Amino acid sequence: MTHPGQLLKQRKLYAGKELGQNFLSNPDTARIIVEKTGISKETRVLEIGSGLGALTIPIARIAYHVTAVEKDSRLIPLLQQELDTEGFKNVEIINKDVLKLDIAEIAKDNKLVVIGNLPYNISSQILFRLIEKRTCIEKAFLMFQKELANRIIAPPGGRDYSRLSAVVQYAAQVSRVAKIGPSSFFPKPEVDSTILRFNFFETKEFNLEQEKTLFNVIKAAFSKRRKSLKNSMTGGEFKFEKAFILKVLESAGIDSQRRAETLTVDEFKALALAIWKKR
């Protein structure tokens, strides 16, 4: 693997902050990350933000097929050349914004394993999108800024438990895979990184409408996280009346004085179902 700094210099290119371009520069780290995903010669991978191919190449060495999506058109010929040099024929690079990518079209009838050293400025948005499309995804291995990863896996009751934690933990079992320090990247970020593994739940307990209600309930509850539910829930998309909120909280068996950050995912589900039935 050519060092990303050298590759960019040869082409008179630069790493763009607005695209979160901190490239993996340590081939051992890249190899270890790919090993930890457990992919095999049957796996179809969607790689988000392939960049200069630090992960694409070790993935292509193992996987059946890789769809690599990359927004920065400047990087596509560099990666294509690296792939051609190594003789890989199982990689398709798509020059597109991942937030506009039709993931179902890529998966067709298969389930994908999603891998990505994500651009940190849009990593929450990417995660919400993957959750939306999770029926096409078997599991995902994604690298986040450490602080965001801590929020994603935070249990209820603490400062880190947030809208993102509740939505993600409803859709997937999440675990920490590895911590990566700044020295593994070029340019070096000022933050530590964490790789999380997401095993999306097979069965969907909620239908689409119920799920939409659940996500709106979580959003409304966390819109004023310092306030009790009876006050925070009147905000957000639904514009609930206070009397209605008190009624649904009671039927879900939740004390109206509690705050969003104390509710488990199961309690959010009970609340969403109570709202869905009474509307």
Ligand X SMILES: C[S@@+](CC[C@H](N)C(=O)[O-])C[C@H]1O[C@@H](n2cnc3c(N)ncnc32)[C@H](O)[C@@H]1O
Annotated binding-site positions for S-adenosyl-L-methionine: 22, 24, 49, 70, 97, 117
Distance CA 191, CA 147 (A): 9
**Two tokens, residue 102:** 């039709």
Question: What ranges in 160-264 are assigned the alpha helix state H?
Answer: 163-171, 208-223, 229-232, 242-251
> Least Å distance between CB 242 and ligand X?
40
Distance CA 273, CA 65 (A): 40
104 binds ligand X (CB under 6 A): no
Question: Of 17-25, 84-92, 104-112, 243-251, which segment contacts ligand X by CB under 6 A?
Answer: 17-25
Distance CA 46, CA 113 (A): 6
> Least Å distance between CB 82 and ligand X?
12
Q: Please, which residue, 85 or 257, has the CB nearer to ligand X?
A: 85
Q: Do residues 270 and 245 touch, judged by C-beta distance below 8 A?
A: no
Residue nearest to ligand X (CB): 49
* Torsion angle in degrees (nearest 10) through CA of 80, 86, 89, 91: -50
Q: How far is CA 31 from CA 37, 46, 60, 123, 196, in A?
A: 10, 17, 11, 22, 16
3-state secondary structure of 178: strand
Specify whether the backbone of 211 is left (phi greater than 0), alpha (psi in -120 to 50) or beta: alpha
Single residue of 39, 70, 151, 165 touching ligand X by CB under 6 A:
70
123 binds ligand X (CB under 6 A): no
Question: Of 116-124, 128-136, 212-220, 222-230, which segment contacts ligand X by CB under 6 A?
Answer: 116-124
> Least Å distance between CB 135 and ligand X?
21
Q: Do residues 269 and 170 touch, judged by C-beta distance below 8 A?
A: yes
3-state secondary structure of 114: strand
23 binds ligand X (CB under 6 A): yes
117 binds ligand X (CB under 6 A): yes
119 binds ligand X (CB under 6 A): yes
Q: Please, which residue, 65 or 269, has the CB nearer to ligand X?
A: 65
Question: Of 47-55, 160-168, 238-246, 255-263, which segment contacts ligand X by CB under 6 A?
Answer: 47-55
Q: How far is CA 45 from CA 24, 67, 80, 193, 245, in A?
A: 19, 6, 17, 22, 44
> Least Å distance between CB 118 and ligand X?
6
Question: Of 18-26, 167-175, 235-243, 251-259, which segment contacts ligand X by CB under 6 A?
Answer: 18-26
Question: Of 68-76, 149-157, 221-229, 270-278, which segment contacts ligand X by CB under 6 A?
Answer: 68-76
**Binding interface with ligand X (CB under 6 A):** 19-24, 49-52, 54-55, 69-72, 75, 97-99, 117, 119, 122
